[in-house]
């Protein structure tokens, strides 16, 4: 695709331009609207309906994780007791904020037992849609199929599967984002230094990347986690420090291309420091492929956490996660089919949504954007 620019009718091959340089060229064209690169990317992304659906599902999953306490909890959302209104589900937040009223009211009680024993006709209560906490144990209701009482059934010790799925979304999404944030930060620093400085720095960084790529990442994670206490924080850190080579390679390649461009040469000639050139001028123009890789990385981290929890190396048994629910189904199949179907579908839906989102971002950020 070629466009005529300026009075001298110069022909510029837009297909050969880098993505950050494309939007200004298009904006300078006669009759073209003034759009930044990210505005062009956003417009292209919105044309991909499948990717938009993936983004909507991801947003809904975040809303589910953030509101888990208000969806699945054994504490009432609101109750009127002796003419006074209480919000028990907010008690933990209020104690964390050091609101003294909640430190003295309704401490360490079973709300259902308290309501049955003390409520009068004038009192009323409103529970969340799933009125069970993820760790409520009731052996009388063990291995119950989905019903009106337990929407998605119960596990081998009577814990409500719906509540554990809702609260398990927090574990999966937090592991994905924190782990990816860790290795994106490491990869950006190493890749930027290697690509910008070259020479011995590039050689050392490249050999380190090659060494990390030759190690089976999943088995390395299992080995490290096996020697550490079961903790969601340990899983985040281990995934973060073992998956940075992909981001480092992408960043290094982008810096190798960008450091010889005119705006970098001009900044260096004007006396800008290396730190300013790297983080103020070059890095913002190299983030598009890193964002795409990070989106795919979140899906990969969620799968790794679920697999570790399934194998017993993940979060502690008392912590609700999709992988631990799947693990409890191993000895109950085929009678406990719901313990496999529902968490398996949750993992499938989340990973697929992130992959669709990543593919949409990759296509939208392509340098050869179609306008």
pLDDT in tens, 216-229: 878 888 888 778 78
Cα of first residue to Cα of last residue in the chain, in angstroms, is 11
Over 50: is that where the pLDDT of 271 sits?
A: yes
CB atoms within 10 A of CB 149: 12
pLDDT confidence of residue 11 = 41
- What is the Cα–Cα distance from 281 to 170, expressed in whole angstroms? 36
From 14, 1, 20, select the one nearest 254 (Cα to Cα).
Answer: 20
Q: What is the pLDDT of residues 273-316, one digit of tens each?
A: 888 888 888 888 788 888 888 888 888 888 888 888 888 887 88
Tens-place pLDDT, residues 67-90: 998 999 888 888 888 788 878 887
- Contacts of residue 190, Cβ cutoff 8 Å, sequence gap at least 6: 205, 208, 209, 244, 248, 251, 252
Percent with pLDDT over 70 in the chain: 84
Per-residue pLDDT, 17:
45
Residue intervals in the chain for CATH 1.10.3720.10: 162-364
Residues 6+ apart with CB under 8 A from 277: 196, 264, 267, 268
What pLDDT is recorded for position 157? Answer: 86
Q: What is the pLDDT of residues 145-183, one digit of tens each?
A: 899 888 999 988 889 999 999 999 998 888 888 999 999
368 band by pLDDT with thresholds 50, 70 and 90? low
The yes/no answer on whether domain 162-364 falls in CATH 1.10.3720.10 is: yes
CA 238 to chain centre: 16
Supply the pLDDT for residue 41. Answer: 80
Mean pLDDT for all residues in the chain: 80
**131 close to 73: Cβ distance less than 8 angstroms:** yes
- Tell me the pairing of strands 124-126 and 10-13: unpaired
Q: Output the pLDDT for position 33.
A: 53
Q: Which residue has the higher pLDDT, 4 or 321?
A: 321
Looking at residue 348, what is its pLDDT? 93
Q: Give the whole-angstrom CA distance, residue 265 versus residue 271.
A: 10
Residue 124 phi, psi (nearest 5): -145, 160
Dump pLDDT digits (tens) for 3-34.
444 443 344 443 444 444 444 444 444 444 56
Round to whole Å and give the CA distance between 321 and 98: 29
């Amino acid at each position: 695709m070629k466009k005529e620019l300026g009075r001298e009718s110069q022909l510029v091959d837009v297909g050969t331009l880098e993505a950050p340089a494309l939007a200004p060229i298009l904006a300078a064209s006669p009759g073209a609207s003034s759009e930044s690169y990210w505005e062009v990317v956003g417009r292209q992304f919105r044309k991909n309906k499948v990717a938009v659906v993936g983004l909507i599902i991801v947003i809904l999953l975040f809303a589910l994780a953030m509101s888990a306490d208000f969806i699945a909890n054994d504490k009432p959302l609101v109750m009127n007791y002796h003419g006074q209104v209480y919000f028990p589900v907010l008690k933990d937040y209020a104690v964390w904020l050091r609101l003294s009223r909640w430190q003295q009211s309704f401490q360490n009680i079973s709300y259902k037992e308290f309501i049955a024993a003390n409520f009068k006709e004038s009192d009323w209560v409103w529970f969340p849609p799933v009125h069970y906490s993820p760790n409520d144990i009731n052996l009388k209701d063990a291995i119950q199929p989905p019903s009106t009482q337990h929407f998605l059934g119960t596990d081998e010790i009577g814990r409500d599967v719906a509540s554990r799925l809702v609260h398990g979304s927090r574990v999966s999404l937090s592991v994905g984002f924190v782990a990816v944030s860790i290795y994106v930060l490491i990869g950006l620093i190493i890749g930027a230094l290697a690509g910008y400085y070259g020479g011995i720095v590039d050689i050392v960084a490249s050999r380190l990347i090659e060494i990390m790529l030759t190690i089976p990442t999943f088995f390395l994670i299992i080995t490290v986690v096996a020697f550490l206490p079961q903790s969601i924080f340990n899983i985040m850190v281990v995934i973060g420090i073992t998956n940075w080579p992909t981001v480092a390679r992408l960043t290094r390649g982008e810096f190798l291309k960008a450091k010889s461009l005119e705006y970098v040469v001009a900044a260096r000639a004007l006396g800008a420091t290396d730190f300013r050139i790297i983080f103020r001028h070059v890095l913002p123009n190299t983030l598009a492929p890193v964002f795409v890789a990070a989106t795919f990385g979140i899906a990969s981290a969620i799968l790794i956490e679920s697999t570790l929890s399934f194998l017993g190396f993940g979060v502690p048994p008392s912590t609700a996660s999709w992988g631990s629910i799947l693990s409890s189904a191993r000895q109950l199949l085929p009678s406990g089919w719901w313990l496999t179907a529902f968490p398996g579908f949750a993992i499938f839906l989340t990973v697929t949504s992130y992959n669709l989102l990543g593919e949409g971002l990759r296509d939208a950020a392509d340098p050869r954007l179609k306008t």
